[in-house]
Amino acid sequence: MILSKQTYSLKAVREALYWGEKNSTAIINEDSNSWIIDFNLESNEDTIDSIEFNFLKRLNDFQLRHQINEETKNLRQLIYAKMLFPQHISVQTNDKNDDPLELLEGK
């Protein structure tokens, strides 16, 4: 199976493989533009087609998770840091919830 590196991150590929069927193994290779995945079956319970189909389904979900993580990982770390050390982390914000009608704005 050949996957575009532009579409899928290595992390997503690895995580999708992690949750794969127990009777299969996979080897990841790469060239400059693609991930090349070779599946091997260790028993006849499944076919390569079904293994690849399930892998792709998982991969699309893991790619979405990867995107969420990329966009929010710093925020996640800050939330945990603030949770654990509330006195040591101060976040400067311009919280509009304090002034929803913007009555104080400009004063």
Binding site for other proteins (CB under 8 A): 15, 18-20, 22, 61-62, 64-65, 67-69, 71-73, 75-76, 78-80, 82-84, 86, 89, 91-97, 100
Q: Which stretches of the chain are assigned E, i.e. beta strand?
A: 2-4, 24-30, 34-41
Minimum CB separation of residue 50 from other proteins in Å reads 17
Minimum CB separation of residue 6 from other proteins in Å reads 14
Q: Measured from the CB atom, is 31 or 106 closer to other proteins? A: 106
Q: Measured from the CB atom, is 33 or 77 closer to other proteins? A: 77
Minimum CB separation of residue 91 from other proteins in Å reads 5
Q: Measured from the CB atom, is 31 or 86 closer to other proteins? A: 86
Asked whether 3 and 37 are in contact (CB, 8 A), the reply is yes
Minimum CB separation of residue 31 from other proteins in Å reads 26
H or E element at residue 63:
helix 48-84
| Residues, the chain | 107
Asked whether 28 and 13 are in contact (CB, 8 A), the reply is yes
Asked whether 84 and 53 are in contact (CB, 8 A), the reply is no
